[in-house]
Copies of this chain bind each other. A is one copy, B any other.
Amino acid sequence: MEKTVRELAQHVGGTVQGDGDMLITGAATLSDAGAGDISFLANPRYEKELHASSASAVIVGQKIDCPDKTLVRSGDPYYAFMQAVVLLYGHREHEKVGISERASVAANAKIGIDVDIHDFSVISHDVQIGDNSRIYPNCTIGPGTKIGQDCIIYPNVTIYDGCTIGDRVTIHSGSVIGQDGFGYATHDGIHHKIPQVGGVVIEDEVEIGANCAIDRGTLGDTVIGKGSKFSNLIAIGHNTRIGPYSLLVAQVGIAGSVQVGHHCIFGGQVGVVGHINIGDNVKIGAQAGVINDVPDDQSIAGSPAWPITQTKRSLTLLRDLPEFRKKLRGLEKTISELLKDQ
């Protein structure tokens, strides 16, 4: 779609400085943008890229200046850019297919209005699916599971029996929700399976990436809080509860019975041991190994994870260990000579 800078500025609640009539046909990062593209500068640290960019217009904050460029000023440039991208490109459109004759839908499943169920998906008995949700091909939804309205379940997803998916939830391909948690009682060297009779609750507006695996609870539920977003290949253990609006980057693994607060951010490949509490607004650096409770608002990193400034200092000094050793040896030599002299 094609818009003038003025139309885009109105749409994102910003103000134009420069040529409001210019036509914008695309969006791109500052370095990739060319003529006809709108871009953004959210972090003043990259101001140099603004001046070097070939973008026709750039969304910026209130304090940035660039006289030779058409600017759109906004209180939150990245959010405004997101709105511009939605206006220019839209979200993925979903073809209406209705309920395919090549899908398998149990007679007693309750299917809402305008639901799409694609070929070769299986909707088991006692399943409920809310209005306007779509189940792409080759998915299996287990008995008694409830899916809310406006959900998108991409191909090859499995949701086991007795799980609850809220409204406006998106689950990408290959993810598995509700498999049995890892629970065994070992007796005489044999691991005996503990029935996993809890479920999984995925609250409204959650998005789950590709090939994730979220265990059902042993007794009671595993819960993914409202508006949380998962990248790919993430493992969540049984009975873990993740607060609303948390972000988990790819390949995070959280063991069982962990409590995570709201608005937490987990870097890629973070691991968390079971049975701990992570507060609200906690930030965890990539590859960290979290083995203790974390208070609210803390930033941690490292394995084992410590407050990030402490970790950075120690890891920097780790680099200096050869120098330390040299100095230690020098001191020992000096002192042994001193002692000889006495």
Task: Write the residues of chain A forming the contact surface with B, with a CB cutoff of 8 angstroms.
Answer: 26-29, 32, 76, 78-79, 81-82, 85-86, 89-92, 95, 102, 104, 118-120, 122, 125, 136-140, 142-143, 154-158, 160-161, 172-176, 179-180, 182, 184-187, 189-195, 197, 207, 209-213, 215, 219-220, 227, 229, 231-233, 235, 237, 245, 247, 249-251, 253, 255, 263, 268-269, 271, 273, 286-287, 289, 291, 303-304, 306, 310, 313-315, 317-322, 324-325, 327-328, 331-332, 334-335, 338-339, 341-342
Contact = CB atoms under 8 A, between A and B. Distances in A.
Contacts of A231: 182, 235, 237
Contacts of A173: 140, 158, 160, 176, 179
A238 to B, nearest CB: 10
A51 to B, nearest CB: 19
Contact of A118 (B122, B193, B212): B122
Which of A213, A313, A315, A322 has most B Cβ within 10 Å?
A: A213
Contact of A322 (B180, B249, B313): B313
Contacts of A304: 315
Contact of A122 (B76, B91, B138): B138
Given A179-B154, A185-B79, A328-B328, A211 B29 contact: no
Contact of A82 (B81, B95, B185, B325): B185
Given A249-B255, A269-B269, 13 more contacts: A76-B187, A79-B185, A86-B194, A89-B195, A102-B104, A158-B174, A172-B179, A180-B209, A190-B227, A250-B255, A253-B269, A268-B271, A303-B303
Query: What are the 8 tightest A-B residue pairs by CB atom distance, in nearest-first order?
Result: A140-B155, A213-B232, A82-B185, A158-B173, A317-B321, A210-B213, A176-B210, A235-B250
Contacts of A209: 179-180, 182, 213
Nearest to A257: B29
B251 A253 contact: yes
A78 B185 contact: yes
A28 B255 contact: no
Contacts of A85: 194-195, 197, 219
Contact of A233 (B95, B187, B213): B213
A171 to B, nearest CB: 10
B158 A158 contact: no
A325 B324 contact: yes
Contacts of A122: 118-120, 137-138, 155
A193 B253 contact: no
Given A209-B182, A319-B306, A334-B335, A28 B219 contact: yes
